Amino acid sequence: MTNLDISQRIRQLPGWIVLALWALVVAVPLYILVVSCFKTTAEIYGDRFGLPTNWTLDNFANAWTQAQFARYMWNSFAVTGGAVVLTLVVSAMAAFPLSRYQLGWSSPVLAFFLAGVMLPIRLASVELFSLMKTLDLLDSRLGLILVYSAIRIPFAVFILANFMRVLPRELEEAARLDGAKEWRILFRIILPTIKPAVAIVAIFTAIAVWNDFFFPLIFIFDDAYKTVPLAITTFIGQFRTDWGMVFAALAISMMPVLVMYLLLARQIREGVGATGGLK
Amino acid sequence: MSASRLRRAPIEWQKHRAAILFVLPALLIYCLFVVYPLASSLWGSLFEWRGFRMRDFVGLDNFARLFVDPSWTKLSGAFTHNVFWFCGIMVLQNGLGLIFAYLLFLRRRGTAFLQSVFFFPAVLSPVIVGALWRLLLTPDGAVETLLHNLGLLEGRLTILGNSTWALWVLVAADAWNWMGLPVLIFTAGLRQIQPEVFEAARLDGAGNGRILWSIALPQLMPSISSLTTLTFINTFNQFDLVYVMQGVQGNPNFATDTLVTYFFRLAFGAEGAVGITDIGLALALGTLLFLLLTVVTIGLLRFFERRTVRF
């Protein structure tokens, strides 16, 4: 190693320390969360930072059955899955003619959709509540799926239309000459070609819906339909003294996004870069 | 010629019909569950309400009531907290994020890994982040133990119950949650600047700090623009973190109350006597907030568009 290398390394050191400090600020709370899941409440009080002496899975078992996290996870999965599929299908259908036909009315309609990316829908929650009551959609997973899809459609149409616009014409013309219908062209030719965009829309819709708690808070009263974030807010107050179980419940509820993040970190990073934001 | 026109006409109509059929489902869902409730909320703010029932047209009465006590105290308090929140995130999250992004940009190795670590909390629900920090910060919690061990604190850690500091804690937790976002956006922005620009500055003897301030920052305007707009929209919609960490009243003593928590209490009956709503007042507040968000967002986008440097 030359002198230049060494001096350069020393000059880079403060920067590395700053970056490492923030990495610790991110990692330590998560580390405490994870180790606490495997400790008894007495041990959590005794030693907050060390590894558990006896690794126990009781906390997970209690959270899963006694605190009914199995049920809340199922509700969250059903609502998230339903919203992702519905959003993708109807948004792809809308983006297709709007971006690829010469229609004359496509730019105003696209602009009308685009405005929805910004609209603060929470401020309409009173009227939305009345509407859901009229349609008998309170206390139902379908109600949540419809509301979430409506909120995510503008973003999805925007991204999908942007990707579809730049595809070459020849792509669909051959199929059209063979007599393929629009439906088939969209789902068999266009969508497979823009898989990255479909993935971005699916990931961001899934994260946003999985994490939301505002709409379950106002639309769901029956415990049978509660989603994970809503369950957590009521749960912490109820079981505050059982720290191990509370930590385990938090760990269980972040597991799906953790798995997704580990598998898709690169797509998510690039997606944020491509769309300028996740929220 | 006329024959070909005759033949083309039905095909064109078919195309329009197909297009309408394809656009309709998305348009219907969007209009029914987003556009219609928003429009009827704005309209409803001009009426007197009894519970959930619309009564008489009262013009701007609801808006006038917002600016008279006891509502005015809550409204101005919440607004101040949102402004504080915005400034705090701009400095703590976006400012630090810029520094982290620049440090990552100067290095070859470990960038993708550290970006992934920094971004991870952003995929977690604010509810989980809030619950986690509330557990860590509670008296008896991990942070108290840590401060005891370091000899920085004696007795109980009561920062979440302290009306001077509680809002700072929420802003810090929010910055912890979303720090990865400015880091990703700024590193992407820095990569788009031509390397020659940096080399030229370096040859002129500019240090890293100087290059960041005078060379990189002006060229990062598109990133700064979208982050400022996002930060504004998000801070003025702040609800989840407050609800989970400090309750819907914005404890202690409304010190962490925000415009949306106040709106929620008016609309769903947690303000004053529990169960009694003031829909007229809630809709007026919602309308004002809607106007504020729209006007400021458009203003911000215009402001940055004029200031974007093009080389």
Burial class of B31 by CB neighbour count within 10 A (0 to 12, 13 to 18, 19+):
middle
pLDDT class for B73, splitting at 50, 70, 90?
A: very high
Using the predicted structure, report yes or no on whether residue B41 has a pLDDT greater than 90.
Answer: yes
Q: Where are the alpha helices (DSSP H) in B193-278?
A: 195-203, 208-210, 217-219, 221-235, 240-246, 259-268
More reliable by pLDDT, B205 or A161: A161
* CA-to-CA dists, residue A34 to A24, A242, B121, angstroms: 15, 15, 14
How far is residue B294 CA from its own chain's centroid? 13
Task: Output the pTM of the full model.
Answer: 0.91
Note whether A11 contacts B: Cβ–Cβ < 8 A.
no
B140-181 pLDDT, tens digit per residue, is 888 888 888 888 888 888 888 888 899 999 999 999 999 999
**Does pLDDT of B4 surpass 50?**
no
Residue B255 distance to chain A (closest CA, Å) = 20
pLDDT above 80 for B258: yes
Amino acid of residue B112: A
Å between A238 CA and nearest CA of chain B: 13
C-alpha distances out from residue B155 to A47, B133, B147, B168, Å: 18, 19, 10, 21
Q: Which chain B residue's Cα is nearest to A251? A: B128
Which one of A90, A123, A235, A269 makes the best mutation probe of the B interface by having the most chain B beta carbons within 10 Å?
A123
Q: What is the pLDDT of residue B231?
A: 94
For position B205, what pLDDT does the model report? 85
Per CB-CB distance under 8 Å, the chain B contacts of A96 are: 22
Predicted confidence at residue A101, as pLDDT, reads: 86
CB contact under 8 A, B22 and A93: yes
Burial of B252 (0-12, 13-18, 19+ CB in 10 A): middle
Q: Is B255 helix (H, G, I), strand (E, B) or coil?
A: coil
Cβ(A221)–Cβ(A41) below 8 Å:
no
Cβ atoms of A269 and B181 closer than 8 Å = no
Instruction: Check CB contact of B140 with chain A, cutoff 8 Å.
Output: yes
Using a CB–CB cutoff of 8 Å, tell me whether B184 touches chain A. yes
Residue A47's pLDDT is 76
Name the nearest CA neighbour of B80 among B292, B251, B259, B249.
B259
CA pair distance B80, A30, nearest whole angstrom: 32
pLDDT tens per residue, range B178-199: 999 999 999 999 988 888 888 8
Given a cut of 80, whether residue A161 has pLDDT beyond it is yes
> Higher model confidence: residue B12 or residue B287?
B287
Residue of A162 and B305 predicted with greater confidence: A162
Q: How many CB pairs under 8 A join A and B?
A: 241
Residue B285 burial (CB < 10 Å; 0-12/13-18/19+)?
A: buried
The answer to whether the CB atoms of B100 and A22 lie below 8 A apart is yes
Q: Which two tokens mark B169?
A: 């804690």
pLDDT digits (tens, 9 = 90+) for B99-121: 999 999 988 788 889 999 999 99
B29 contacts on A by Cβ (under 8 Å): 86, 90, 146, 149-150, 153
A204, A278 contact by CB (below 8 A): yes
Question: In this structure, are residues A158 and B76 in contact, taking their beta carbons and an 8 Å threshold?
Answer: no
A42 contacts in chain B (CB < 8 Å): none
CB atoms within 10 A of CB B89: 26
Q: What is the rounded distance in angstroms from the CA atom of residue B169 to the CA atom of residue B82?
A: 14
For residue B3, the model assigns a pLDDT of 46
Give the mean pLDDT of chain A.
Answer: 88
Q: Give the pair of three-digit tokens for residue B185.
A: 């956006």
Name the β-bridge partners of A235: none
- Which residue of A lies nearest to B190 if distances are taken between CA atoms? A273
Q: Looking at residue B78, what is its pLDDT?
A: 96
Residue in A with minimal Cα distance to B114 = A23
Q: B226 CB near a chain A CB, below 8 Å?
A: yes
Contact (Cβ atoms closer than 8 angstroms) between residue A150 and residue B32: yes
B234 and A120 Cβ atoms separated by less than 8 Å:
no
Of A212-221, B13-22, B241-250, least confident by mean pLDDT is B13-22
Residues from chain A contacting residue B25 (CB–CB below 8 Å): 90, 93-94
Measure B69 CA to nearest chain A CA, in Å: 22
The arithmetic mean of pLDDT across residues A231-252, rounded, is: 83
Query: Measured between CA atoms, how close is B215 to chain A, in angstroms?
Result: 19
| Confidence (pLDDT) at B10 | 59
Q: Which residues of B touch A48 (CB under 8 A)?
A: 141-142, 145-146
pLDDT above 70 as % of chain A? 96
Angle at B48 between CA B45 and CA B54, to 5 degrees: 85
> Which residues share a beta bridge with B49?
B54
* Cα B70 to Cα B260: distance, rounded to the nearest angstrom: 17
pLDDT digits (tens, 9 = 90+) for B267-289: 988 777 677 888 999 999 999 99
Q: Do B142 and A32 touch (CB under 8 A)?
A: yes
Kindly report the average pLDDT of chain B as a whole number: 88
Residue type, position A109, single letter: V
CB contact under 8 A, A268 and B41: no
How far off is chain B from A277, nearest CA to CA, in Å?
7
Q: Do A232 and B127 touch (CB under 8 A)?
A: yes
Q: What is the pLDDT of residue B304?
A: 84
Identify whether the C-beta of residue B242 lies closer than 8 Å to the C-beta of residue B174: no
CB of B41 within 8 Å of a chain A CB? The answer is: yes
**A1 pLDDT exceeds 60?**
no
Residues 6+ apart with CB under 8 A from A97: A103, A106, A182, B18, B19, B22, B23
Question: CB-based contact (8 Å) between B13 and chain A?
Answer: no
Chain segment A66-103, per-residue pLDDT in tens: 888 899 999 999 999 999 999 999 999 999 999 988 88
* Closest in A214, A218, A273 to B184, CB measured: A273
Cβ-defined contact of A268 to B289 (cutoff 8 Å):
no
pLDDT at B28 exceeding the cut of 90: yes
As for the ipTM of the complex, it is 0.90
For residue A19, list chain B residues with Cβ-Cβ distance below 8 A: 100, 103-104, 114
Token couple for B197: 């620009």
Instruction: Look up residue B179 and give its DSSP letter.
Output: T
Q: What is the mean pLDDT of residues B243-260?
A: 91
**Mean pLDDT computed over B234-245:** 94
CA distances to B39, B170, B231 from B287, rounded to whole Å, are 10, 26, 20
Query: What pLDDT shows up at residue B311?
Result: 44
Classified as helix, coil or strand, B47 is strand
Cα distance between residue A15 and residue B209, in whole Å: 12
Q: What are phi and psi of B56, to 5 degrees?
A: -110, 155
> Token match 């967002």: residue?
B297
Tell me what pLDDT residue A180 has: 80
Which residues, in sequence order, are CB contacts of A87 under 8 Å at separation 6+?
A148, A149, A152, A153, A156, A201, A205
CA–CA distances in Å: residue A151 to residues A83, B28, B32:
10, 12, 11
| Surface of B (56-115) touching A: CB under 8 A | 96, 99-100, 103-104, 106-107, 112, 114-115
pLDDT at B272: 72
DSSP state of B56: E
Query: Under the phi-then-psi rule, with left for phi > 0, alpha for psi from -120 to 50, and beta for the rest, what region is A226?
Result: beta
Which tokens belong to B98? 């810029």
